[in-house]
Each structure stands twice: as structure tokens, then as C-alpha cells.
Structure 1
Amino acid sequence: MDSTSLFPLLVSFRLLLACIPLHLISGLQHDHQLSSPLTSYSRLKEGLWLYSHNIDPYAGGVFRHSPLFLSIFSTLLPPLPIVWALSDIVGAWALLRIWRARQRVGKGSGGRAGGLVAAAFLLNPYLFLPSLALSASTFENTAVLLTLMFASEGKPSAALLALAFSTHLCISTLLLLLPVLMLLVTSPVSQLASPQEFRGDLRTTCKYAGQFVAYWLVLLGASSLMVGDVYCEQSYRASLTLPDLTPNPGLWWYFFTEMFDHFRPFFLMVFSVHLVIYILPICIKFQHDALYASFLLVGILGIFKAYLTLADPGLFLSMFALFPEVYPYLRHPIVTTLVHIHAALLLPLFHALWVTEGRGNANFYYAASLVMGVAGGMGVVDACYAGLRIAFGDVAEGERNNWAVVQE
């Protein structure tokens, strides 16, 4: 079954899930694995109610979403499950378009592989479960994929606007700025087997960086006109200062729950800088393939993001479908998969034991979060190893030529 027939079937399935009554999935909306204080649907509803009654939604320290959600859901769209389903569909469509740009295949072509790419997104439980929980992480992932889609298709204005929108939804996606700028002045076609120095025009790259800053400042000004500048403290700075220690599958919350206040600023700086230090090494090592560098940084975010949900590692896992050339060179794919499955089983089990049954404690759930972090780390390291092995490892020249023929 090719993409032209499979994609409509997957879209129909996702729209059917959107018809599930809200009271049947109300438990998902309060699941700490699927939504965080920055993406929670219940907090979004509270913020919309306060905003509609002319009350500052950021005054109480509960609403931490971007003001863009207030403008969209109070004027353009109602916060209904169908909106999340449509966002998922747009994300799958964007992922399919990225794959076509990388493989250099036209619209309506690609065969079964194109359908599998869409299925990797729409059937990924790490993605559709947060979407069913009406988590705002669904829109964050879609914005990231739209950014990479426009950049892969050589549309700089649209890509930079989508990236500015994405950073307003989640400031952590600013980590993708450098590889997106590199992608705009290079090609999305796989260059892993033939690494070369970055040959993009530096002047053009700087112009695109200035264009991104202009878009970001326009959105910042529009948000400030809506609700004032207090939202920066409650929304954007929350990823740096971690004011809400609600449990999540990430690695931050438990560490800072046990942290003495005297050491908190230092370790907040360490955790924040730790995210940033990956950008230059990855972009330098994979300067010949900016799309692959973006993929690896998405995986880094899926491990070390401050307010993590399952949607973050889920995006990284779905993006694996874009790079079939690395599959033969993964070192431990079976072990990594088994660790992911192990973490996927432990997280809901220990969450239920602690929160629902009251028979465990926070150590149980954080132990499962550590297993999830290890699984994510194994995936990123294996993907990095495979990308380097294609270029610098024991890949015969004949295999490289065969891959070039397949690409053509």
C-alpha cells in the first residue's frame, strides 16, 4: 500500500480518535507523562477563562502557556479535540514532505515507504496519546516539523516564521536555529556518505538569522500587547528557572525537588548550559547534512528538556523514518528498542503505583524516568554513530556508489 492510499486511511483513523468523548479521556489529560505545566489542557482552559473575563491569566502562576494560545483559541479556533487531530495530520504531512525532499521524489510518489513515514508519526503512541490528552506539545512538534519542511523545500521566510512561532510555543526549540539556518543554504538530500565542509554563503546565513530575529520580535511585541510582559516570567523563563516541580518523564524535576536552595541557581545554570553545549559539536560534525544535525538535536531535546512529555522523545523516534540509509549501520538497535519498551512499561506502572494506588513514592517514578533517559541517550548515540560510520567507518566505496545510484 503506497502513500497515496495509506495516508488518507491514517488521517481517517486519527479523525475517528478525535470523536472520542472528552469524559472518556479525562484521565489522560491529567497524566504527568503526557502533559506538563507548560502544556496542560486543564491549565489552558483556566487561562482562556481568565482571559475571557479580563483577568490576567499569568497572575496566579498557574497558566504558563504562550500568549499565542490565548489569541488562537479565543479568536480563531475552539479548544476542541478535532484541532489537536488536525495538528497531528499536518505534522504527518510535513514529515512526509521532508522525506520527499530528502529522497528527491515528487508528490504522489514514494510508494510504500512514503506511507510508512506517515504511519511512523500518526501511529506512534508517544505522539497520539499526548494528542488525545490535548497536550500543547502536539502543536510544538507540528511547528518543528513545519520549520524543517519549509527549510528542506528552500522556503526561508516560511521556515524562519515557523521557527519563530515554535520558539514562542517552547523556547527550548531555539536550539534548532543553527542547523535550520545551515539547512536553508544547503540541501536536504543525504550527504552522510560524502562529507564535505560547509559551503553555505555566510552573508546569506546572517541575513536569515536577522530575519528570524525580526519575526521573533514581532511575535514578542504582539504577545506583549495582548497580556503585557509578565508572561515572559511565567512562560519562557519557566524552562530555565523550573518554578513548578510537577513530576514528568524528564530528568529535572526530582533533582531540584531534593536540591538545597543555596545550590539551586548554580545547578539550574549547569542544566541549561548542558542543553546548549551539544549544538556546535553536532553542527560541526554533521555540517555536510544539516537535516541530520537537526534530527540529533531533536533527540537531545527529547532527553534533557526541562518540562518533558512523551511527545518529545516521540518526535525523535518518528523522525528516524527520514533516514533509512543509517539503518544498516546502527550498532545496537534491538537493545535500544528493548530499553525503550522497558521504559514505556515502567513509566505508567510506577506512575499508577505512586499517584493512584499510593503504594510507592517518587523514587519509583523517577527511576522509570531515568530508564527513559537512558533509552533516549542510547538512541541518540546510536544514530550519531551510524551517521559517522557511513562517512568515516568501514563503508566500502562500492556500497557508497550503490547508495548514490539508489538516491538518483
Structure 2
Amino acid sequence: MDYDVAFPGLIVTRLLLAFAPLPDSLIHDHQLSTPLTSYPRLLEGLYLFRHGVDPYSGGLFRHSPLLLSLFSTALPLNRFTAALIWTASDAAAAWALVHTWRARQQVKGKTSRDSLIAAVYLLNPYILLPSLALSTSSFENTALLLSVMFAVQAQTSLSLLLLAIGTHLALTSWLYLPPLALLCLTTPVSYLASPRPLPFSSNEITRKLGTLATEYSAYLLALAGAATIVAGGVGWLDKTWGAVFTLPDLSPNVGLWWYFFTEMFDHFRPFFLMVFSIHLAVYPIPLVVKFQHDLLYAVYILTGILATFKPYPSIADAGLFVSMSVLFPETYQYLRTPFPTFLIHLHSSLLLPLFHHLWLGSGTGNANFFYASTLVWGIGMGLGVGDAVWAGLLTGIKGRFKNDADEQEWEITQE
């Protein structure tokens, strides 16, 4: 279907779903939102903020002060405006994904894959359900995809600004800085099938990355200053960014942290919090080194890793990973376990709401029921990420062999 027809149609469909009479339980579902992205907690913080009470004085509100400022002034929240805002956010994310694909293909106009890419994002259940639950993870995904789009278009300042905004919404977004900064300096065209090193010396890379990191830090500090003015102090730092390191709220989610630290003895807790946090910071540089010939692919792999191992994940993080996979059709033939990965995701997607209801709904189960389903979910995510890494590497190996064979054939012909 033509993109000019399909994209507005998808947005209208998404908007109709937003206005549909959906169960109120969606906004309280632990799989669709987390303590850092919950809509009821956002409403509570806005209520306190409007009545002159510091929303960060308690232990529930953990959203960025930027959202407080936005939704208490320019965009007041109610059932009608919320549907419009979240739909617009998803539409912007899908639009960014389409334009990222076009930049990767070095095409300025429409392509035959545009409608598919938009549909994969807007109709992806992992994206759609958290958005219908009004989880602010939708804004985090949009900020990241817009940052990626501007990076592949070599609009460095806009890319770093959007990444800084995304970091204020979700601190773990700073891990995207190395691949995104280098992506701003290179081409988004796929070189998976013909790997080549970065066109810079190590000294140039260090200097350029230092310049971009400084600009990113300036945006981050400016936004932090604005957030401090809005919040009336720096108390928001501990409640928002600090929550990523200290894990104060052990509400269940689809991640691997909450149950582990529920069972953790207090005197071991600081050590394992440090280990888990450092574990996340290990990935960006090795990914940049290994996929320096295709930094967009490094960003894609990193989304899957964070969706699996970040402190407070929801299925929206997995939805971003799945949606970005449409940008790399050249890797599909090298996937080893796509069908088992799909079945594990299907299995866990059925187990998660079932065991969640048995535990917190009917009271006939316990936390082990739900945690078992999150382990299955984690296995599915790990299998998907590992398969994507393998496919990316094998694409390069096969491409190199093919290029070597072509070169030998050309040399023989010349002789």
C-alpha cells in the first residue's frame, strides 16, 4: 500500500484504539509500565505539584521534572488530550523509523518498505499496549528514535539534544552516546556485508568523541538546570536518576532485577547493585568496536541488551528492539533461531498476564509464578539479541568471502 495512504490510516487506527473503552487495569499492569513510567504515578505527581506540594518528597513519583513542567502548563492531561499526545508520540517514532530506513538506503523519496516499517511500529503489541496504558516509555522510545534519525542525517546537535532529553526521561539512555556520536560522523549505509574500519585514526576518534560528549553534557546540564528550577531543588535527582542505581521500588516488572533484590540480604545489596549497574555499562564500547562498520546496527543490538538487563524494563523496551529489526533485512537469512525465539516470546507473552493475575488478581499464586514467567521472557530476549549479533557477524563473514571470490574471479578474467 502507498505510504501516503497507509501512514495516515495507521495513525487514525491508533487514535481510534486510544479512544476505545479499554480496561482500566491496563494502566496498572506491571508488564506495561514501571514505577518510572507509570501514568497513575504521573497524575499523582501533577496533582501534588499543582497544589504546592513537592512530589519528590514521597516515594512514589519518579518521573522527570520536565514532564511535570510540560503537563502542568502547555499540555494539561485528561482522557482526551492523553490519547492525542501518546498517539502523536507513537506517530513521530514511526515517522523517525521510516526516515532512518530511507537514510540507510540513501533514498530521499518513498520506498516500497515504508508502509511496512510504520506498521511494524504502530501495530506492534509490545509498543501498542504500553502506549494504550499511557506509559511514558512511549516518550523514551520516541526520543531515542528521533535521535537516531537525526544522527543518520548528520544533524549532530539535534541528535545529541534528543538523546539528552531521552536521558532525562530514562537515565540508561546515556549508554547510546558512543554509537550515536560516531553514527553522526559516519554513514548510515549498511556495510554489514562488507565490513570496513572507521575512516578515522584512534586520535581523531578520541578527539571527535570528546567534542560530541562535551556538547551532549552541555545539553544534559542545561536540562538538569531547568529540571531543578521546576522541581524547586535537586531532590528529583535521587528519586529519578538515583532510582536506576539504588532500585528503591521493587514493584514486579518483566526485568531480572526486582525479584533478585527482593530476596537479597541487605548487607549484600550495595555490592550487587554495583555489579548489575557496571554490567550494563560494559556493552557500548565493545559493540562500537565490533560493529564499527555499521554503527546503526550497534545501536539496534544495544536496545535489545537494555530491554533485557535494565533495572526497570517493560515490554515497550522489547517492542523497540523488535521494531528496529525491520531496518536490517539483509540479516534475516543468517538468523539461526527465529522460530524458537518467536515461540518463546509467544509463550512468555501468555504466561506473564496469566501468572500476574494468579498472583495479584485471584491470589491463588505467589511471586514465584510471575518471576518464572519473567525468566522465560528473559530467555526469549537473550535468544533474540544473541541471534541478532550472530546474524550481523555472519552477514559480514559471508559478505567478505563473497567479495574475495568476486575479486579472485575478476583477477582470473583479467589474466
TM category, shorter? over 0.9
For residues 127 and 25 of structure 1, the distance between their equivalents in structure 2, rounded to whole angstroms, comes to: 17
The answer to whether the 8 A contact 1:295-1:319 is kept is yes
- Letter of the structure 1 residue corresponding to residue 371 of structure 2: Y
Aligned to 2:73: 75
For residues 254 and 262 of structure 1, the distance between their equivalents in structure 2, rounded to whole angstroms, comes to: 17
For residues 326 and 369 of structure 1, the distance between their equivalents in structure 2, rounded to whole angstroms, comes to: 28
Q: CA deviation at 1:15?
A: 1.2
Aligned to 2:256: 251
TM-score (norm 1): 0.95
* 2:64 is aligned with 1:66: yes
Aligned to 1:41: 39
Aligned to 2:349: 344
Query: Using a 3 Å threshold, how does the CA distance of structure 1 residues 349 and 161 change in structure 2: closer, same or farther?
Result: same
Aligned to 1:178: 178
Aligned to 2:221: 217
* 2:334 is aligned with 1:329: yes
Query: Using a 3 Å threshold, how does the CA distance of structure 1 residues 170 and 185 change in structure 2: closer, same or farther?
Result: same
* 2:92 is aligned with 1:90: yes
Structure with bigger gyration radius: 2
Aligned to 2:126: 126
* 2:205 is aligned with 1:204: no
Q: Which runs of 4+ in 1 moved over 4 A?
A: 393-396, 398-401
- Letter of the structure 1 residue corresponding to residue 186 of structure 2: T
Query: Using a 3 Å threshold, how does the CA distance of structure 1 residues 194 and 47 change in structure 2: closer, same or farther?
Result: same
Between 389-398 and 66-75, the greater mean CA deviation after superposition: 389-398
Q: CA deviation at 1:127?
A: 0.5
Aligned to 1:230: 235
The answer to whether the 8 A contact 1:193-1:400 is kept is no
Aligned to 1:190: 190
Query: Using a 3 Å threshold, how does the CA distance of structure 1 residues 395 and 199 change in structure 2: closer, same or farther?
Result: closer
Between 75-84 and 331-340, the greater mean CA deviation after superposition: 75-84
Q: CA deviation at 1:292?
A: 0.4
Aligned to 2:413: none
Deviation string, structure 1 residues 311-358 (Cα, Å, up to 9, x no partner): 011100010001111001111111111111111111111111111111
For residues 400 and 341 of structure 1, the distance between their equivalents in structure 2, rounded to whole angstroms, comes to: 41
For residues 366 and 400 of structure 1, the distance between their equivalents in structure 2, rounded to whole angstroms, comes to: 50
Q: CA deviation at 1:5?
A: 2.0
The answer to whether the 8 A contact 1:95-1:319 is kept is yes
Between 276-285 and 26-35, the greater mean CA deviation after superposition: 276-285
Aligned to 1:31: 29
- Letter of the structure 2 residue corresponding to residue 253 of structure 1: W
Q: CA deviation at 1:394?
A: 7.6
Q: CA deviation at 1:26?
A: 1.4
Aligned to 1:297: 302
Q: CA deviation at 1:395?
A: 6.4
Deviation string, structure 1 residues 202-254 (Cα, Å, up to 9, x no partner): 33332211110100000011111111100000000101100000000100000
For residues 177 and 368 of structure 1, the distance between their equivalents in structure 2, rounded to whole angstroms, comes to: 32
- Letter of the structure 2 residue corresponding to residue 211 of structure 1: E
**How many aligned residue pairs are there?**
397
For residues 13 and 34 of structure 1, the distance between their equivalents in structure 2, rounded to whole angstroms, comes to: 20
Query: Using a 3 Å threshold, how does the CA distance of structure 1 residues 163 and 171 change in structure 2: closer, same or farther?
Result: same
The answer to whether the 8 A contact 2:178-2:209 is kept is no
Q: CA deviation at 1:20?
A: 2.2
The answer to whether the 8 A contact 1:35-1:133 is kept is yes
For residues 14 and 140 of structure 1, the distance between their equivalents in structure 2, rounded to whole angstroms, comes to: 18
The answer to whether the 8 A contact 1:47-1:57 is kept is yes
Pairwise CA RMSD: 1.4
For residues 399 and 15 of structure 1, the distance between their equivalents in structure 2, rounded to whole angstroms, comes to: 51
The answer to whether the 8 A contact 2:152-2:187 is kept is yes
Q: CA deviation at 1:7?
A: 1.2
Deviation string, structure 1 residues 93-134 (Cα, Å, up to 9, x no partner): 111111111111223x102x1111011100100111000000
The answer to whether the 8 A contact 1:343-1:368 is kept is yes
Aligned residues with identical type, % of pairs: 54
Between 182-191 and 386-395, the greater mean CA deviation after superposition: 386-395
- Letter of the structure 2 residue corresponding to residue 179 of structure 1: P
The answer to whether the 8 A contact 2:196-2:293 is kept is yes
Aligned to 1:103: 105
- Letter of the structure 2 residue corresponding to residue 30 of structure 1: H
Q: CA deviation at 1:4?
A: 2.3
- Letter of the structure 2 residue corresponding to residue 71 of structure 1: S
Deviation string, structure 1 residues 165-206 (Cα, Å, up to 9, x no partner): 000000011110000011011011101112112224433332
The answer to whether the 8 A contact 1:331-1:386 is kept is yes
For residues 225 and 243 of structure 2, the distance between their equivalents in structure 1, rounded to whole angstroms, comes to: 19
Deviation string, structure 1 residues 259-290 (Cα, Å, up to 9, x no partner): 00010000001111111111121111001111
For residues 381 and 399 of structure 2, the distance between their equivalents in structure 1, rounded to whole angstroms, comes to: 26
